[in-house]
Structure 1
């Protein structure tokens, strides 16, 4: 469920899942991380748990980000990612980057390159980026992750490639981020290969338009990374 509720005190955005839903745990993640990221997105106002687990968020009027080449939204998205990269990951039971991508990396030393102490959003689907108040706000913190700071810029690279950017164009979008400049080239190559494997499987399981586009983007980015120093 995702609805806007009109109340006497103004609108509230609700999102909820039945308590027996297999992904109800994403509600826990959004609730636990909100105090640390409310300066980057809507504040969580309340939570109700009965037959449904429902989160009530501050309603912010805006529009979804335009991820296509030349979009004026992208510099604002990058600025928000820079602020995310400043947040040390809080001591919470969050997912680890090394666990999330373990099944797609063969070598343990390569997998260790994904380790780090930064808080990551990781899901830069434009539906999760709200352009409002002159900036880019992040919603849907269902997958907060602890890992290397360059992973979030890399996730944006892959996502905007699926909307028409070449690998070179996409990497240019994030080129000025300090986390990106500090990335180990081998780590980027490992992450690109892991995503190529993940999205190939996702597209095979669900041959809808968006996972197929993500799979193609991931393959293209991996090929590009193999040719970088």
Structure 2
């Protein structure tokens, strides 16, 4: 469920003053509607230039997502907008370089997809830094049929995992990944698998979606048994999420996960 937006002018004066120590005077602000996980999401025009800010109140239960974003940002330079500063008081606010871009189009045939795959390939080349991020076998542990299935998800790659089109910014130089609330260490093919379900929810067939990610090295080496385990886990995970939140996009993801599992089963049987 999306968090209600708090506008820049509605923040406490102490928070705004703390931000302006980094930016100089804020001349204008525009609240951004896209995104689900931040109470504050705004583009500020300031004395030192434009900056994008996102933040949560210090009492918000998932404020830890701000810690993860700040922690991982130095390790994904060139793949994500640069974190410039952080204000941590009554409100926890992250200030990022403003990027002149738009959110990705995931429809079949979109010219954005090859550029996103290039970014995913670059990310797949990164070993996960030695940081306290989530690990795949822990994140999906409640969605597998048996503990031994989790062995397929283990790996040393840095994963984004949340390929909502709103988390992909398209710019002249390619695609950037934003909203690193769930950085994860695991098998490199998990990110392409996460994108497949998103693409299917956006209108692709399973075959079309798998074709999009087919050129990534991680996908080309993905084990069939591991993909089957993850496909089943994805169905269980999205069914659980849809049971708690009937938003249309969540239902679409649950349907897509089921369709992908059917395709994986039929592919294995025919192979």
* TM-score bracket, shorter-length normalisation: over 0.9
**1:19-42 deviations in Å (ceiling 9; x for gaps):** 110110000000000000021110
Identify which of 173, 176, 181 aligns with 2:220. 181
Identify which of 136, 139, 142 aligns with 2:175. 136
1:118 equivalent to 2:139? Answer no
Q: Tell me the residue number matched to 1:169.
A: 208
Matches of 1:151 and 1:131, distance apart in 2 = 22
1:134 deviates by 2.9
1:108 deviates by 1.9
**1:28-80 deviations in Å (ceiling 9; x for gaps):** 00000000002111000000000011000000011000001000000000000
1:203 deviates by 1.1
Matches of 1:117 and 1:46, distance apart in 2 = 29
Matches of 2:266 and 2:150, distance apart in 1 = 20
After TM superposition, the structure 1 stretch with the greater mean CA deviation from structure 2, 196-205 or 28-37, is 196-205
**Gap regions ≥5 residues in structure 2:** 1-39
Count of matched residue positions in the alignment of Structure 1 and Structure 2? 229
Matches of 2:149 and 2:223, distance apart in 1 = 11
Identify which of 65, 83, 94 aligns with 2:133. 94
SS of residue matched to 2:49? coil
1:228 deviates by 2.1
Q: Tell me the residue number matched to 2:236.
A: 197
1:227 equivalent to 2:235? Answer no
**Gap regions ≥5 residues in structure 1:** none
SS of residue matched to 1:191? helix
TM-score by length of 2: 0.83
Cα RMSD, aligned residues only:
0.7
* Structure showing greater relative contact order (alpha-carbon pairs closer than 8 Å, 6 or more residues apart): 1
Over 4 Å off, 4+ runs: none
